[in-house]
Amino acid sequence: MASPLSAATLFNVQGMVAVITGGGSGIGLTMTKTLVLNGARRVYIIGRRESILRSAAESIDPNVVIPIQGDVTKIEDLEEISATITQQEGSINLLIANAGIMGPRPLKTFSSEALSEKEKAQQYASHALATPMEDFTNTYHVNGSAVYYTAMAFLPLLVAGNENTATTGSTSQIITTSSIAGFSRLPGASFAYNSSKAAVTHMSKMLASALVGFRIQIQFLASPFHRMFSLDNLAISYPHATTERVSVPWLFIYAGAVPLGILIAWALLVRPGAHKAHVTLLGWGISMVLTMFITDVIKNAVGRPRPDLIARCKPKPGTPAHTLVTWEVCTETNHHVLHDGWRSFPSGHSSFAFSGLGYLALFIAGQCHVYRPRADLARVLLAMAPLLGAALIAISRCEDYRHDVWDVSVGSLLGMGVAHYTYRRYYPALRNRACASPFANPADERGGVWGKVKGDEENGAGDFELSDFDEEDGGEGVGARR
């Protein structure tokens, strides 16, 4: 029997009955497909446009996907849908409150940059006041209030679903679709949308506390931010290259496997001691993981379009070219290809390459004492070789039109910065005489008790000086700790 903590159990949807509001298009459609492909017994999709729902059901599996027309902002519709599903199923295991709208948007550009500050303020305010307040509050109604009433309408069905946990392997769940926009203060986005998604996030936390007594799990998805764009923007009109110069698998080989292999080979051949080998590999691993985490967080928060976004998007015919539009105008059916188009900043290839190869360059520089007076050029070139490889990987992202120079530059600086931070956690500065030796284990220095790591001055090690040019020091450098 599989462990309850295994991925197969934690994410098992076999035999589940699910309800998805807004399940006929966008993220909801992707959720519907995913549930069906992974063994859900029945998926009810709810929305206002019956034709969209029926088309979605027929394209997936009409025997599993059941479309029901209804308006989630109307209590009577929710009660009627709940009664219908109660009659047909008796219970459900999963409710996904996904329906949402963008809402009115603030003024993006002024009629003239020559306007005074007062004239710009008047134009900005006039644009906002020309939008009926009902349009603004309707965004709250769909994105916020409807989530609460949907959860209440299906609560009895979810509680009934807890009676068959032996079949599904988990208790009933509610998943709400929030957005990372709910955490964003960018003024160019929709005030109504961003604030409504912030409300959904907090409401989900409140529901988790309120429904814990019913054994209902609550989760919310903070989908990545997608900036608005216009079709006449030449900066995002480059072709989409299906073949990359450095694909993701090759990136992991060049920037991950190669540095790791070199460090392991060094540890096996040189036999530097358990502590030195341990901290060297640990520093490299932290550099890689930390860089990937920071890069992903920034990518999802910024949501900057890639240079090839329009080619990925495949906008609907008739989409106006001179106005700002959202990702909803796109017809690309491959979810990854489409939404990856808003992950331009910073370049992940660049940050990953410099975090792995940059760390290797710092390590080689320290072991070769490149800052030592009269150090031969070969040592410097050896230390620079990994940086050249990382730079070539970063440059390839501009050649593939995946990123512009700013994305690549910031990604490279991010990766190198993290690599330097993690390297310096365990090794002295490269100008230090003892740069080839890691800091001592604090537990060893204090008799098995962890404490403050001694600084360079406390250890009696200083920077290289012009008089330090002894070439017969056994490779550890003048003044190195023994």
Give the helix, strand, coil percentages of the chain, each rounded to 5.
55, 10, 40
Tell me, yes or no, if 197 is annotated catalytic: yes
Catalytic residue among 193, 254, 371, 426: 193
DSSP line for 176-206 = EEEEGGGG---TTS-HHHHHHHHHHHHHHHH
What is the pLDDT at residue 217?
Answer: 93
What is the pLDDT at residue 471?
Answer: 45
Q: Tell me the pLDDT of the chain (482 aa) as tens digits.
A: 456 666 666 678 889 999 999 999 888 998 999 999 999 999 999 999 999 999 999 999 999 999 999 999 999 999 999 999 999 999 999 999 999 888 887 766 676 777 888 988 998 899 889 989 999 999 999 999 999 999 999 999 999 999 876 556 678 999 999 988 888 777 666 889 999 999 999 999 999 999 999 999 999 988 888 888 999 999 999 999 989 999 999 999 999 999 999 999 999 999 999 999 999 999 999 999 999 999 999 998 888 999 999 999 999 999 988 888 888 789 888 888 998 999 999 999 999 999 999 999 999 999 999 988 876 889 999 999 999 999 999 999 999 999 999 999 999 999 999 999 999 999 999 999 999 999 988 766 554 444 445 555 455 456 655 555 554 444 444 444 43
Contacts 24+ apart (CB under 8 A), 460-464: 461/428, 461/432, 461/433, 461/434, 462/432, 462/433, 463/429, 463/431, 463/432, 463/433, 464/369, 464/371, 464/372, 464/373, 464/431, 464/432, 464/433
Catalytic residue among 197, 350, 396, 426: 197
Tell me, yes or no, if 33 is annotated catalytic: no
Catalytic residue among 82, 172, 178, 396: 178
What is the pLDDT at residue 400?
Answer: 96
What is the pLDDT at residue 441?
Answer: 80
Angle at 404 between CA 390 and CA 321, to 5 degrees: 155
Tell me, yes or no, if 148 is annotated catalytic: no
